[in-house]
Chains A and B, each alone.
Chain A
Amino acid sequence: MNFPMLHIPVIGDGMTIAADAVLHVLISHGVAIGVVFFLVFFQSIYALGGDVFWKHASKSLLFPALITTTSVGAVTGVGIWFITGILAPGGIGSLIHLFFWPWFIEWWAFTLEVILILIYFYAWPRLSENHPKTLMLLGWGYVITACISAILISGILGFMLTPDGWPQGQTFSAAYFNPTFVVQFILRIFAGVCIGGVLVLGWASWAWKTAAENRKKVLQATAAIMLASLMIATVSAYTYFHQIPQTFLTHWKFSVATSALSEHPGYIYLVNGLGMAVIICIALAALFGYRKTVVLLFLPALACSILYVAQFERIREFVRGPYLIPGYMYANQVHMVKNLASAKDGILSAHTWINQPLVTAPSARQGQALFDANCAVCHTIGGINDITQRLSGRTLEGVNAIISITDKMVPFMTPFSGTDSERLKLAQYLYYLSAKESRPQPKMLTAKGN
Chain B
Amino acid sequence: MEHWQNLFTLLPMPQSWMQALLFTTFALHLLFVLLMVGTVSIGFVQFLKGFSPANENKGQETMTLYLGFKGLAVVLGVGPLLILQVLYYKPFFTATGFLGYAWLAVIPLLIIAFLSIEIFERRMQTWRFLGFIFGLIGLVALLTVPAVFTCALALMERPSYWQAFASGSISMSDPFLWHWVLRYLHIVGASLVLGSAFHLAVIFRKQPDKTSELETWLFNTIVFQILSGLLLLLTVIKVWTPAMAAGLAIGAAAAVLVAFKLFRRFKKEPLSRFQNTATITATVIIFVAMIFARQSLQDSALLPMRTLSQNTLISQAHALDAYHAKALAQYEAKLDTVYDNGQTIYDNSCLPCHGDWGHGDGFAGRRLLVKAEDLAAISGKKDYIRQVLLNGWAGSAMPYFKVFDKAKIDSLEAELDRRFGMFSQPEMADVNVSEAAGQKWEMVCSTCHGARGIPTEFGRGLKPMPPDFTQFHLTHERAMEIITNGYPGTVMQPYRELPSHLRKGLIALLDRMYMSAAQ
Interface flags, B331-344, vs A, CB<8A=1, else 0: 10011111110000
Per the 8 Å Cβ criterion, residues 105-138 of A in contact with B are 107, 110-111, 113-115, 117-118, 121-122
Per the 8 Å Cβ criterion, residues 253-302 of A in contact with B are 253-254, 257, 259, 262-265
* Contact, CB under 8 Å: B396 / A394: yes
Residues A247 and B338 in contact in the complex (CB < 8 Å), given A85-B96, A86-B103, A254-B404: yes
Interface flags, B315-331, vs A, CB<8A=1, else 0: 00001110110111011
Residues A337 and B320 in contact in the complex (CB < 8 Å), given A75-B74, A115-B72: yes
* Contact, CB under 8 Å: B323 / A337: yes
Residues A78 and B81 in contact in the complex (CB < 8 Å), given A70-B70, A337-B327: yes
Residues A411 and B7 in contact in the complex (CB < 8 Å), given A70-B74, A96-B85: no
What CA separation (Å) do A190 and B254 show in the bound complex? 53
The contact of A264 among B81, B93, B98, B406, by CB within 8 Å, is B406
Interface flags, A323-361, vs B, CB<8A=1, else 0: 001111000000111111100000000000100001000
Residues A71 and B368 in contact in the complex (CB < 8 Å), given A86-B100, A170-B5, A259-B403: no
Tell me whether A206 is interfacial, beta carbon within 8 Å: no
* Contact, CB under 8 Å: A438 / B97: no
Q: Which residues of A contact B324 (CB under 8 A)?
A: 337
The contact of A263 among B100, B309, B406, by CB within 8 Å, is B406
Most buried by B among A101, A169, A246, A398: A398
Q: Which residues of A contact B115 (CB under 8 A)?
A: 67, 71-72
Which of A208-216, A226-234, A366-374, A399-407 forms contacts with chain B? A399-407
* Contact, CB under 8 Å: B399 / A397: no
Number of A-B contacts (CB under 8 A): 266
Instruction: Tell me the minimal C-beta distance from B64 to chain A in angstroms.
Output: 9
* Contact, CB under 8 Å: A20 / B404: no
What CA separation (Å) do A104 and B6 show in the bound complex? 21
Q: Which residues of B contact A327 (CB under 8 A)?
A: 327-328, 331
Most buried by B among A75, A92, A353: A75
Q: Which residues of A contact B404 (CB under 8 A)?
A: 254, 262
The contact of B368 among A81, A89, A103, A398, by CB within 8 Å, is A398
* Contact, CB under 8 Å: A70 / B340: no
Which of A2-10, A41-49, A52-60, A306-314 forms contacts with chain B? A2-10
What CA separation (Å) do A336 and B393 show in the bound complex? 32
Residues A118 and B370 in contact in the complex (CB < 8 Å), given A97-B8, A253-B405, A393-B463: no
Tell me whether B515 is interfacial, beta carbon within 8 Å: no
Q: Which residues of A contact B399 (CB under 8 A)?
A: 394, 402, 409
Instruction: Tell me the minimal C-beta distance from A402 to chain B in angstroms.
Output: 6
Tell me whether A98 is interfacial, beta carbon within 8 Å: yes
Residue of B nearest to A335 (CB): B320
Main secondary structure of the interface of B (DSSP, over half): helix
Tell me whether B443 is interfacial, beta carbon within 8 Å: no
Tell me whether A419 is interfacial, beta carbon within 8 Å: no
* Contact, CB under 8 Å: B348 / A409: yes
* Contact, CB under 8 Å: B75 / A167: no
Residues A122 and B68 in contact in the complex (CB < 8 Å), given A100-B12, A340-B326: yes
Tell me whether A383 is interfacial, beta carbon within 8 Å: no
Tell me whether B496 is interfacial, beta carbon within 8 Å: no
Tell me whether A66 is interfacial, beta carbon within 8 Å: yes
* Contact, CB under 8 Å: A169 / B75: no
Tell me whether B200 is interfacial, beta carbon within 8 Å: no
Main secondary structure of the interface of A (DSSP, over half): helix
What CA separation (Å) do A110 and B209 show in the bound complex? 40
The contact of A121 among B67, B72, B110, B365, by CB within 8 Å, is B67
Instruction: Tell me the minimal C-beta distance from A321 to chain B in angstroms.
Output: 9
Residues A353 and B463 in contact in the complex (CB < 8 Å), given A114-B71, A169-B2, A263-B405: no
The contact of A107 among B78, B92, B407, by CB within 8 Å, is B78
Tell me whether B172 is interfacial, beta carbon within 8 Å: no
Tell me whether B234 is interfacial, beta carbon within 8 Å: no
Tell me whether B395 is interfacial, beta carbon within 8 Å: yes
What CA separation (Å) do A328 and B323 show in the bound complex? 11
Tell me whether A82 is interfacial, beta carbon within 8 Å: yes
Interface flags, A80-95, vs B, CB<8A=1, else 0: 0111011001001111
What CA separation (Å) do A76 and B397 show in the bound complex? 43
* Contact, CB under 8 Å: A114 / B75: yes
**Count the B residues whose beta carbon is within 8 Å of the partner chain — how many?**
93
Residues A405 and B364 in contact in the complex (CB < 8 Å), given A89-B97, A167-B328, A263-B405: yes
What CA separation (Å) do A103 and B80 show in the bound complex? 12
Per the 8 Å Cβ criterion, residues 402-455 of B in contact with A are 402-409
**Count the A residues whose beta carbon is within 8 Å of the partner chain — how many?**
95
Q: Which residues of B contact A94 (CB under 8 A)?
A: 7-8
* Contact, CB under 8 Å: A82 / B340: no
Instruction: Tell me the minimal C-beta distance from B102 to chain A in angstroms.
Output: 10
* Contact, CB under 8 Å: A85 / B403: no
Tell me whether A168 is interfacial, beta carbon within 8 Å: yes
* Contact, CB under 8 Å: A78 / B78: yes
Residues A118 and B68 in contact in the complex (CB < 8 Å), given A75-B111, A353-B97, A397-B368: yes
Tell me whether A144 is interfacial, beta carbon within 8 Å: no
What CA separation (Å) do A104 and B406 show in the bound complex? 44
Tell me whether A14 is interfacial, beta carbon within 8 Å: no
Interface flags, B291-328, vs A, CB<8A=1, else 0: 00000000000000000010000000001110110111
Tell me whether B394 is interfacial, beta carbon within 8 Å: yes
* Contact, CB under 8 Å: B76 / A111: yes
Instruction: Tell me the minimal C-beta distance from A327 to chain B in angstroms.
Output: 4
Q: Which residues of A contact B393 (CB under 8 A)?
A: 393
What CA separation (Å) do A81 and B80 show in the bound complex? 13
Q: Which residues of A contact B106 (CB under 8 A)?
A: 82
Residue of B nearest to A329 (CB): B7
Tell me whether A243 is interfacial, beta carbon within 8 Å: no
What CA separation (Å) do A408 and B323 show in the bound complex? 20
Q: Which residues of A contact B50 (CB under 8 A)?
A: none
The contact of A100 among B82, B103, B323, B390, by CB within 8 Å, is B82
The contact of B397 among A92, A121, A257, A395, by CB within 8 Å, is A395
| Residues of A that sit less than 8 Å from B by CB | 2-6, 20, 66-67, 70-72, 74-76, 78-79, 81-83, 85-86, 89, 92-98, 100-101, 103-104, 107, 110-111, 113-115, 117-118, 121-122, 167-171, 245-247, 250-251, 253-254, 257, 259, 262-265, 322, 325-328, 335-341, 353, 358, 390, 392-395, 397-402, 404-405, 408-412, 437-438
Q: What are 26 inter-chain pairs, A to B, with CB distance below 8 A?
A: A2-B90, A6-B97, A71-B114, A72-B114, A74-B71, A85-B92, A85-B97, A86-B96, A93-B93, A110-B78, A111-B75, A113-B75, A118-B67, A247-B335, A247-B339, A327-B327, A327-B328, A335-B320, A390-B400, A394-B398, A395-B489, A401-B353, A402-B399, A411-B337, A412-B403, A438-B463
Known A3-B94, A263-B409, A395-B489; further 13 A-B contacts with Cβ < 8 A: A82-B107, A85-B85, A94-B8, A107-B78, A107-B82, A114-B72, A254-B404, A265-B407, A341-B320, A353-B166, A395-B397, A404-B364, A411-B339
In the complex, the 7 A-B pairs of residues with the closest C-beta atoms, listed nearest first: A398-B397, A393-B394, A4-B97, A71-B114, A259-B402, A89-B93, A336-B327
